[in-house]
Amino acid sequence: MLRELHTFIAVTRYGTFSAAGQRIGLTQSAVSAQIRLLEQHLGMLLFDRSGRAAVLNANGQRVLPLAQEIMTLFGRMRQPATVSEYRGTIRIGAISTTQTGLLPQVLLRLQRQAPDLETQIIPGVSFNLLNQVEAGNIDLAVVIKPDFVLTKDLYSEPLLREPFVLVTPLGMKGEDPLALLRAAPFIRYDRTSFGGRMVSQFLRRERLTPKIALEIDEIDAIVRMVEHNLGVALVPLAGQWRERAERVRVVPLGESLTFYRELIVVMRYSWRQSPLHQLITGFLRAAATEAQTG
């Protein structure tokens, strides 16, 4: 029944059988079948079937907190007595710059502490990774802090604040970042991403309408385009491109203009006390502190 309880909780979270199925990787008919099976085992209906939305009836409202408690208890049952005894797979979501930044040293420390644990890195953009954590498809993720409040099912901790800078081709003259943004072609950080939305807010705040040369979501690729004289870009001071920063010109925005993206580690609230989650979070904090001071 654990699978059916997981699906039941997903339906209550996402509002419809179809939406829940999309989040947990099932067809709508499979979700319906699992809910029917759960209702048969319990001997009661859980949803009001009168509308399109999946609305809990009185039975469903009583069962939901019990189902959540069962899933939390089962998760605790699977945890060994010590971290060194952990086996199986831990799934960590990570945006691209974290994969080449904080994660390598975190994974090395984790390997030493839990040698029999297999780590699976799930790449993605912040919004998608948040959804996967909420759905229980990955165990935790390092993402950009969104500009909206996380759901009550998610727990997060801050890790690192990364300033945005202007990068230009080496031969480009001028020190005023606003003047450079007005004059040069602009390589835009994808405006649908969390970091790209910060760039959009900055441009609106400074009343800038640069000429867009192209738009990309990958920060290292953006800087690579700048290297090849395709334009200028606003990017966070993060990622692998810093190792070859001598190939572009980095123009600080200055105290009055600088804006930041904040990296957070996020997990389901019920997992925050897990020894393994606490261990990984501690490693992430240590790596972030080293990156900040280094």
Is residue 232 domain-shared with residue 171, that is, in the same domain? yes
Asked if residue 245 and residue 109 are part of one domain, the reply reads no
Would you tell me the crossing angle of helices 275-293 and 103-113 to the nearest 10 degrees?
Answer: 140
For 231-285, write each residue's pLDDT tens digit.
999 999 988 888 888 999 999 999 999 999 999 999 998 888 888 888 899 999 9
**Is 124 found in the same domain as 214?**
no
Q: What pTM was estimated for this model as a whole?
A: 0.72
Domain's final residue, options 77, 105, 134? 77
The answer on 250 and 166 residing in a single domain is yes
The count of domains in the chain is 3
CATH number at residue 124: 3.40.190.10
Q: What is the CATH number of the domain that holds 5?
A: 1.10.10.10
Strands 233-236 and 154-169: antiparallel
Over the stretch 245-259, which tens digit does the pLDDT of each residue have?
A: 899 999 999 999 999
Q: Are residues 179 and 250 in the same domain?
A: yes
Q: What's residue 78's pLDDT?
A: 61
pLDDT single digits (tens) 13-63: 888 998 888 888 889 999 999 999 999 999 999 998 877 788 999 999 999
The last residue of one of the domains, among 45, 77, 109, is: 77
Two structure tokens written together for 85:
């005894």
Q: Which of 292, 265, 254, 273 is nearest to 133 (CA)?
A: 265
Write the CB contacts of 97 (distance below 8 Å, at least 6 apart in sequence): 219, 220, 236, 238, 239, 240
Which of the listed residues 77, 101, 118 is the one where a domain comes to its end? 77
Structural domain range at position 117: 83-160+262-293
In this structure, are 109 and 250 located in the same domain? no
Do 175 and 221 sit in the same domain of this protein? yes
Same domain (yes/no): 279, 214: no
Q: 245 and 189, same structural domain? A: yes
